Amino acid sequence: MGGASSRNQKDQPSRSTYFNQEELKKLKSSYDEGGLEMTVPLIQEKLKDLDNIELNIAVTGKSGAGKSSFINTMRGLQNNDEGAAKTGTTETTMEPAPYPHPNLPKVCFWDLPGMGTSNFPANEYLKKMNLKQYDFFIIISACRFTENDVKLTKGIKRLGKNFYFVRSKIDIDLNSVRKEGKKLNKEEEMEKIRNYCVSNLEKAGISSPNVFLVSNFDINEFDFQKLNKTLAGNLSDIKKQAFMLSLPNTTLEIIEKKRAVLKKQVWMLATLSGFVGAVPVPGLSFACDTGILIPAIIGFRQYLGLDDASLQRLANMAGKPVEDLKAVVKTPLVGEIDKTFVIKMFLGGTFIAISAVEIGLDFIPVVGSIFGGASSFGMTYKLLNDVLNDLTENAQSVVKTAFETEIVCTKTSDH
């Protein structure tokens, strides 16, 4: 990790695009063959793919293990929030229940019934649950992983799907040690619990299992962030981006990773603006810019958790009044975003002096160098970058206020 100024220029393109190397080659050959007219449809298709990407995450385990609370936490919700998964100590899930993310409805967590109950005996479970439809599985236990968990894991493995073991309610275990009057070494106790889980799974035939210890009520403690990094690291690029954007804003690192994801959209949106800007039809360039910029700004704002609903959810999670979080948001970008607002941004001195700013067009894949800094491309590129940076800084202020952290976080790549 490092600041933007320390990045090696030669690896900038790979961090500026959702396209893999094969797709970049196709992009370049299309441009060489037919210019922007053949290139822009490929960019439009990729942007459409980003909007339509589906991610289905299955969460399963024994009743009472904390599946529903885990799903709510991953979606940035408290158990009593509107739209939260139903929780309880008895079996509340009688069939796979979908819980879409509040801001990214195509990122969906599925609460699966526990395996091995009277309603779902182990020998019928794999057939009834249609496991092929899920991208990966999270298997949750509140004490130890059972024979049914192992059977389920082997069935998932045969499908070629990834699975992850989560030992929940770790906070309760540690509190029990404290109540017994024993001197608590948190790291040692966690390692003991982890080794116990791993040993049982290995004895049951699961080789080298990773076990994550979490509390559903403290997402910034224990292994929750480690789990999120592992989940993201094992997804394909495009699904990884969707997963990262779905995470609740609980750390500065998450916000920086979201900035890195959204930064990749900027040059594609600017290219579309530049392409229309090159067409000599009076008024068409600016009309296109507003059509691109308005939804982009609103989307960036929501992904970075600065819309009213996201701020309220974060306030609930942090146990803080939402007014405290809103008080540190110092940007007009949280107000109404319409054509008038965008025009004012274009006319503002910060955004109009594009030609005097080093935008770094040479590092934008394939098409960057064909536009001048004062073109529609350059203006859109610079404006969206400024918008993204402004929103990121405000999102960081919100997280610092919500969780009372002053951790300095440098910019990160999406890797």
pLDDT per position as a tens digit, 202-245: 998 898 898 999 999 888 989 999 999 999 999 988 899 999 99
pLDDT at 137 over 50: yes
Which of 243, 259, 277 lies at the terminal end of a domain, its last residue? 243
Statement to judge: residues 219 and 284 lie in one domain:
no
Instruction: Give tens-digit pLDDT for 376-402.
Output: 777 788 889 999 999 999 999 999 999
pLDDT band with cut points at 50, 70 and 90 for residue 11: very low
CB contact set of 307 (below 8 Å; sequence gap of 6+): 301, 334
- Segment 62-68 mean pLDDT: 87
Q: Which domain holds residue 319?
A: 4-34+249-403
pLDDT at 12 over 50: no
- Give the pLDDT of residue 282: 56
Statement to judge: residues 256 and 110 lie in one domain:
no
β-pair type (107-111, 97-100): antiparallel
- pLDDT over 70, % of the chain: 81
Statement to judge: residues 257 and 225 lie in one domain:
no
- Segment 39-48 mean pLDDT: 86
- Give the pLDDT of residue 8: 36
Statement to judge: residues 172 and 313 lie in one domain:
no
Statement to judge: residues 78 and 107 lie in one domain:
yes
Statement to judge: residues 83 and 198 lie in one domain:
yes
Residue 409 lies in a domain: no
- pLDDT over 90, % of the chain: 44
What is the longest distance spanned by two Cα atoms in the chain? 79
Burial class (CB in 10 A: 0-12, 13-18, 19+), 299: middle
Question: Of 291 and 117, which is predicted with more confidence?
Answer: 291
State which H helix or E strand residue 252 sits in: helix 252-277
Q: What is the domain count for the chain?
A: 2
Residue 151 lies in a domain: yes
For residue 232, the domain's CATH number is 3.40.50.300
Instruction: Give tens-digit pLDDT for 318-332.
Output: 999 999 999 999 999
- Distance, in Å, from the CA atom of 327 to the CA atom of 303, rounded to the nearest integer, reads 19
Residue 120 lies in a domain: yes
Statement to judge: residues 284 and 373 lie in one domain:
yes
Instruction: Give tens-digit pLDDT for 253-269.
Output: 999 999 999 998 888 88
CB contact set of 72 (below 8 Å; sequence gap of 6+): 78, 79, 81, 84, 85, 87, 99, 216
Which of 208, 243, 278 lies at the terminal end of a domain, its last residue? 243
- Distance, in Å, from the CA atom of 293 to the CA atom of 114, rounded to the nearest integer, reads 46
Q: Which stretches within 278-375 are classed as H helix?
A: 284-303, 308-318, 322-326, 339-347, 349-352
Residue 123 lies in a domain: yes
Angle at 308 between CA 337 and CA 348, to 5 degrees: 30
Question: Taking a C-beta distance cutoff of 8 angstroms, is the pair 65, 142 a contact?
Answer: yes
Which of 222, 243, 264 lies at the terminal end of a domain, its last residue? 243
